Structure 1
Amino acid sequence: MSDDRPLDPVQLDAYFALIEVSSLLRHTVEQQLKESGGLSYVQFQLLATLGDAPSGRRRMTDLADGVVYSRSGLTYQVGLLEQAGLVTRAPSQEDERSVVVTITDAGRAVLATVFPGHIAVLRELLLDPLSDDDVEALASVLDRVRAHMRSIPPRSAAPRRRAPTR
């Protein structure tokens, strides 16, 4: 799987542009979320994921996979959201080993508060300079890259190896 060829200038420019755009967008989004709702970016992702779920609930492992966050980090973030009354945690009724996180009415209210500003930031920084065709092309390219990257699970999502028994 190793490819030692250097990147050509266009590939390198594309990479650096992606990293810079991602960093600039995330920085502004994080500021907006903090100012309007007291949320970190990850907390917003968690609430938005739960808010989009038909039942308003998801298993912790599904949340971790969806937001690409370590299990321990996710547990900490969900704990903060639970302390703030924005989510609840409970054992799963289908699988006693799983924990289910559910968004509360207060969590939905925070989402309703932060979404208008969040959408305004996305429009201003990402969408306004693009035509509808550009947005479709960008979505298509990013969907392919995301699917490829998701086919190679991050280290935190890979099955754990057990130590040999002696």
Structure 2
Amino acid sequence: MPDSPSSLDSVQLGAYFALMEVAGLLRHAVELQLREEGDLSYVQFQLLARLGLNSPTGSERMTDLADGVVYSRSGLTYQAGLLEKAGLVVRAPSVDDERSVTVTITDAGRSRIATVIPGHVEVLREQLFAALSRSETQALGDLLAPVRDHMRAAPPRSAGSRRRR
């Protein structure tokens, strides 16, 4: 490939393709486990995990959830609706902003997370961490953190304009 401002060198391309392949293989393994053990999609798991494990109140605004899991607002609304029908979350108008909707995990949602977490951890151990030493795992986190932070420095997706089709 020619070296020009619009191209990547072989090291960059190799790193990109390795990252994308690892991410794809890992996501596939995780999705299989979540479907088999919890009847959850990956996005549904992300929502329940953010609410049940990362939120001190068990609640978040829909726009914050969409930004956090990097998912479209309409897609997240659909997934939250499925979770609500299953009794795993409840949605209600936000007390802080009547235009916003807040999603709250239920006891059944917490139970579902507790059911899938052990298998989820096992998939991560087998698929990702088994190939890395402790110091390599630390180095991987150290390498990815500034990339994530750089990408997250842009305005949240919910702040962006909606594209018209």
Fold match, TM over 0.5? Answer: yes
- 1:6 is displaced (CA, Å) by 2.4
Quote the residue 1:43 is aligned against.
44
DSSP-derived class of the 2:128 partner: helix
TM alignment of 1:61-80, pairs within 5 A = 61-80=63-82
TM alignment of 1:147-158, pairs within 5 A = 147-153=149-155, 156-158=157-159
Is 1:114 paired with 2:116?
A: yes
- 1:153 is displaced (CA, Å) by 4.2
- 1:50 is displaced (CA, Å) by 0.2
- 1:4 is displaced (CA, Å) by 2.6
- 1:95 is displaced (CA, Å) by 1.4
The 4+ residue runs of structure 1 with deviation greater than 4 A are none
Structure 1, gaps ≥5 residues long: 162-166
- 1:158 is displaced (CA, Å) by 4.1
Deviations 1:42-96 (A, max 9, x none): 0000000000211111111110110010000000000000000000000111211
Quote the residue 1:164 is aligned against.
none
Deviations 1:1-29 (A, max 9, x none): xx734222111111110010000000000
For residue 91 of structure 1, what is the amino acid of its counterpart? P
For residue 117 of structure 1, what is the amino acid of its counterpart? G
Q: Is the 8 A contact 2:63 2:158 kept in 1?
A: no
Tell me the distance in 1 between the aligned counterparts of 2:158 and 2:59: 21
Tell me the distance in 2 between the aligned counterparts of 1:139 and 1:22: 14
Normalised to the residue count of structure 1, the TM-score between the two structures is 0.90
Q: Is the 8 A contact 2:51 2:58 kept in 1?
A: yes
TM alignment of 1:1-166, pairs within 5 A = 4-52=5-53, 53-153=55-155, 156-160=157-161
Q: Is the 8 A contact 2:34 2:120 kept in 1?
A: yes
DSSP-derived class of the 1:4 partner: coil
For residue 5 of structure 2, what is the amino acid of its counterpart? D
For residue 42 of structure 1, what is the amino acid of its counterpart? V
Sequence identity (%): 66
Q: Is the 8 A contact 2:59 2:104 kept in 1?
A: yes
The CA RMSD over aligned residues, in Å, is 1.5
Structure 2, gaps ≥5 residues long: none
How many pairs are equivalent? 158
For residue 83 of structure 1, what is the amino acid of its counterpart? K
